[in-house]
Amino acid sequence: MSPWRLEFLARGPARRLAAAFVLVLYPAAQAAAHALVVESTPAPNATVGGRELDLRVRFSDRIDKKRSKLGLASAAGQAYPIQVLDVERADTLAGHVAGLPAGAYRLQWQVLAVDGHITRGEIPFTVTAP
Amino acid sequence: MALLLDIYGLLSVIVHGLLLTAQSLTLGGIAFLALVAQPLAADLGEAGARTVARCRRLLRWSAAAVILVVAVNVAAESLVLADTVDISLAESATAAFALAGYAQIVAAALILLLLLSSRASARAGRAGLGLAGLALLAAATATSHAVAQLDNRAVLSVCTALHRLCAGSWIGGIPYFLIALAVCRSQGQWRRIGKRFSLLSMASVSAIAVTGVVMSLFYIGSLEALYGTAYGVMVITKSLLFLGLLGLGAMNFRVVERLRVDPAAPVLRLRRFAEVEVGVGIAVLFIAASITSLPPAVYLTNDRVTLADYAQRLSPRWPSFSTPAQASLALAQLQGQLDAEAAQGAPAVSAYVPGAGQPPPRNAANIAWSEYNHHWAGAFVLIMALLALADRNGTTRLGRSWPLLFAPFAAFLAYRDLVEGGLEDDIGFFALLRDPEIVQHLFFYALMAAFGIFEWGVRAGRLQAPRAALVFPLLTATAAAALLTHSHSIANVKDLLLMEVTHVPLALLGITFGWARWLELRLVPAEGAIAGQVWRVCFVLVGILLVLYREI
């Protein structure tokens, strides 16, 4: 069970009941589902240097950016806030993150494609000291 | 609660399949009324009026089904989105997919209102139905792959809309055609209805083929992507069933043509084939729903299956019928290693937590384990098939009893799945139910045993309700279609696809088995005998494929 799903299920009883019903029908973001990552910065399993990082993920579909998100977590699970950057392309999410110590990270993405399919995934990468 | 999420993942494809079916029935009903039933109503007299009335009733139910399924779909997706992206429900319920859903609901409600109003039979009412149908089609297209594309959106949207409209006119129109055939009583009436529907079907089939090819060029793009990706393989499967439907349609067309010169042409066959077309058509729509949940093949450039992979996997190998020891399975090995580490002070860890979202570990022993299961499944099926072949007339007691073998067959498979899942590695039976794949398998095994016993009751004369005999073929065809939407928990994309490809012929044979048996029961005995041979041959072929099954 992924962290966001556990969090989702841990809310108030009425909402939890609705959520359980919904999730029975909709395993929202299965790995093999719709919008795919076409390219990303950092690339999967890449090693990058520096405490600040520009993040960019391009997908195979046009996405609803208002209803999509990027997240960053260290191997220990600590979340780092991402400053969302505006990009013109309809298929790309971008952001900037600062204050990263060296270590392993997972760039977590969840997107709503314009056709209504929700997809999520992770891009693992490593940050080295500058 | 968390368990249910993983266990019933398959249901999202089922909801989309139901949605496509309801949309097709609605569009098919509008097309049939406008182009077949209403233009002929005056000439057909009382039968014409009754046909129109009954078709309108089915169309009302279809429009109501669209409203219901779309409402569930939009509510579910909105809730998921709100909770996973941390936005308000109002914000998620105004996303593009939700707006398209509301438009579908409004269009379907308009169809319902027009059908309920007394003026709907007038010309204005018919035009209103047509426009509402087009609005429904446009709104449905707004949630297709086409609108999410970066390029060629216009051409792909037009192709998608035409593809769906024509699938509706043809496949969705068949139940209305069946109504007309049942209501009409004379050869002349059957011929006129048949002729018009054949013309509608032929135009639809041509448009389906052309738009299908155009969309494949954009979404698949190359031969390698066609056979090397799950999307491509599903499109091939859908096309094969489409060809099967075409074959049945062509045979029906011949009957319609014969009606012109031969009053004794077999109209019963026309109706029975149309029944099978409805069943196979729904299977096609569910495959289409499954395809919409996959990324288009053109984007999957890595991990494609090559022809060499297929050649290696599909070359026959005689089964050994020897199972690896349970202790050699990946789970047992990994748990042993973790236990040894725990004994030296490391924290105690379970090698596999069912329902945690990660596939269980797998090694060469697991592959051999699975192959052994399939080989014995093949042996069971072959024994049943040979008994069915030997008992062509249902005269021998042993021959009639073959369905009973489904019970030990199901029990064997259930036991093997549970042991592989870790039943003997301190993971309890109920904990194993957290694994969605095990639950799906156990559910199907239970159904298999129950319906084997049910079919034995029918053949032995213990269940004598006239429609009881139709249950087993219907369920076989349904289960085979479900096999096409079933996926396995394997991390390796290539292995996963190869495994699913080996299940495609089994599913197609299962669908043929079910509907051939249906025809055997529904046609006059002389014609049904041919269908009887077909399902027995399919039965034998399924057994052979299972005996030769390999995963490596």
ipTM, two decimals: 0.76
On chain B, the residues whose CB falls within 8 A of the CB of A117 are 148, 293
Crossing angle of helices B468-485 and B267-292, in 10° steps, is: 30
In tens, the pLDDT along A15-58 reads 444 444 444 444 433 434 467 888 999 999 999 988 899 999 99
- The closest CB to that of A27, out of B5, B100, B145, belongs to B5
User: Residue A28: closest CA among chain B residues belongs to which residue?
Assistant: B80
Give the closest-approach CA distance of B97 to chain A in angstroms. Answer: 5
Q: Residue B115 in 3-state DSSP?
A: helix
- The closest CB to that of A28, out of B2, B84, B142, belongs to B84
Give the closest-approach CA distance of B76 to chain A in angstroms. Answer: 5
CB distance A34–B357 less than 8 Å? no
Please name which of B481, B480, B474 lies closest in space to residue B519, comparing C-alpha atoms.
Answer: B474
Residues of chain B with pLDDT under 50: 1-9, 489-490
DSSP chain A: --HHHHHHHTS-HHHHHHHHHHHHH--TT-TTSS--EEEEESPTTEEEESS-EEEEEEESS-B-GGG-EEEEEETT--EE--EEE--S-TTEEEEEE--PPSEEEEEEEEEEBTTS-EEEEEEEEEEE--
- The closest CB to that of B1, out of A4, A9, A114, belongs to A9
Rounded CA separation B127/B130 (Å): 5
C-alpha dihedral (B272, B275, B280, B281), degrees to nearest 10 = 130
Quickly state the pLDDT bin for A3 (edges 50, 70, 90).
very low
Answer yes or no: is pLDDT of A14 > 70. no
Rounded CA separation A118/B244 (Å): 34
CB distance B95–A22 less than 8 Å? no
pTM assigned to the model: 0.84
Give the closest-approach CA distance of A102 to chain B in angstroms. Answer: 26
- The closest CB to that of B85, out of A27, A69, A114, belongs to A69
Quickly state the pLDDT bin for A130 (edges 50, 70, 90).
confident
CB distance A26–B80 less than 8 Å? yes
User: Residue B497: closest CA among chain A residues belongs to which residue?
Assistant: A32
For position B501, what pLDDT does the model report?
A: 83
Rounded CA separation B402/B398 (Å): 7
| CB pairs A-B closer than 8 Å | 132
Please name which of B97, B125, B89, B127 lies closest in space to residue B19, comparing C-alpha atoms.
Answer: B97
Report the residue of B81, B144, B151, B353 to disrupt the A interface, i.e. the one with the largest count of A CBs within 10 Å. B81
Question: If you average pLDDT over every residue of chain A, what do you get?
Answer: 78
Give the closest-approach CA distance of B98 to chain A in angstroms. Answer: 8
In tens, the pLDDT along B135-153 reads 999 999 999 989 999 899 9
Rounded CA separation A70/A84 (Å): 8
DSSP type of residue B548: T
Cis peptide bond prior to B319, omega within 30° of 0:
no
In tens, the pLDDT along B503-517 reads 889 999 999 999 999
Answer yes or no: is pLDDT of A117 > 80. yes
Q: How far is CA B146 from the centre of its chain?
A: 23
Please answer whether residues B498 and B313 qualify as being in contact, where contact means their C-beta atoms are separated by less than 8 angstroms.
Answer: yes
In tens, the pLDDT along B151-198 reads 999 999 999 999 999 999 999 999 999 999 999 988 888 889 999 999
CA terminus-to-terminus distance, chain A: 35
Report the residue of B97, B229, B291, B439 to disrupt the A interface, i.e. the one with the largest count of A CBs within 10 Å. B97
CB distance A1–B357 less than 8 Å? yes
User: Residue B94: closest CA among chain A residues belongs to which residue?
Assistant: A67
A contact residues 66-85, partner B, Cβ 8 Å cutoff: 66-69
Rounded CA separation B131/B175 (Å): 22
Amino acid at position B31, single letter: A
CA distances (Å), A130 to each of A15, A50, B169, in order? Answer: 45, 4, 64
Please answer whether residues B76 and B89 qualify as being in contact, where contact means their C-beta atoms are separated by less than 8 angstroms.
Answer: no
Crossing angle of helices B123-141 and B11-32, in 10° steps, is: 150
Residues B160, B161, B163, B167, CA torsion sign: positive
Please answer whether residues B18 and B72 qualify as being in contact, where contact means their C-beta atoms are separated by less than 8 angstroms.
Answer: no
On chain B, the residues whose CB falls within 8 A of the CB of A33 are 293-295
- The closest CB to that of B4, out of A8, A23, A29, belongs to A23
C-alpha dihedral (B200, B201, B205, B206), degrees to nearest 10 = -40
DSSP type of residue B490: -
User: Residue A114: closest CA among chain B residues belongs to which residue?
Assistant: B148
Give the closest-approach CA distance of A130 to chain B in angstroms. Answer: 33
For position B317, what pLDDT does the model report?
A: 86
Report the residue of A11, A24, A30, A120 to disrupt the B interface, i.e. the one with the largest count of B CBs within 10 Å. A24
